[in-house]
Amino acid sequence: MNRPKATLRLRSGQEGQRPKTGINKISQLKFDEKGLIPAIIQDYKNGDVLMVAYMNKESLKITLREKRTCFYSRSRKMLWRKGETSGHVQKIKSIYYDCDKDALLIKVQQIGAACHTGEWSCFYRKMI
């Protein structure tokens, strides 16, 4: 599939203004009533879906700043950086948001297993 390359076009009067960074685009996203947005984590080389987790604005800002994934744990109600105890970190390669602005696709370089079970991906169980 050929996708047109995104280009930044400045309108008259915008010359000299800096393009929006990822942090500036957070305000465009639609977080749910709990302040969360789902993030699909995908291997940037082979396209494997590695995991799904949730982010709040703070964890997304940390992710953008550190270029490593940081999520919000719904069960523990706290931030967690992927790999902080296991060493299995996810280095950010790119972040996209969907057409409705209510979900993220984060392409990463996965170091070690993505799943807490030790599996490469959390999606290792087949239904059909």
3-state SS, residue 40:
strand
- CA-to-CA distance for 66 and 125, rounded, in angstroms? 31
pTM confidence score: 0.83
Q: Which pLDDT band holds residue 3 (cuts at 50, 70, 90)? A: low
Residue 75 lies in a domain: yes
Give me the torsion for CA of 42, 43, 47, 51, rounded to 10°.
Answer: -40
In which domain, by residue range, is 102 found?
Answer: 22-110
25-66 pLDDT tens trace: 999 999 999 999 999 999 999 999 999 999 999 999 999 999
- CA-to-CA distance for 63 and 39, rounded, in angstroms? 12
Find out whether 114 and 120 touch, Cβ atoms under 8 Å: yes
- Provide the CATH number for the domain around residue 104: 3.10.20.810
Whose tokens are 């639609």? That residue is 30
- CA-to-CA distance for 95 and 64, rounded, in angstroms? 9
Residue 41 lies in a domain: yes
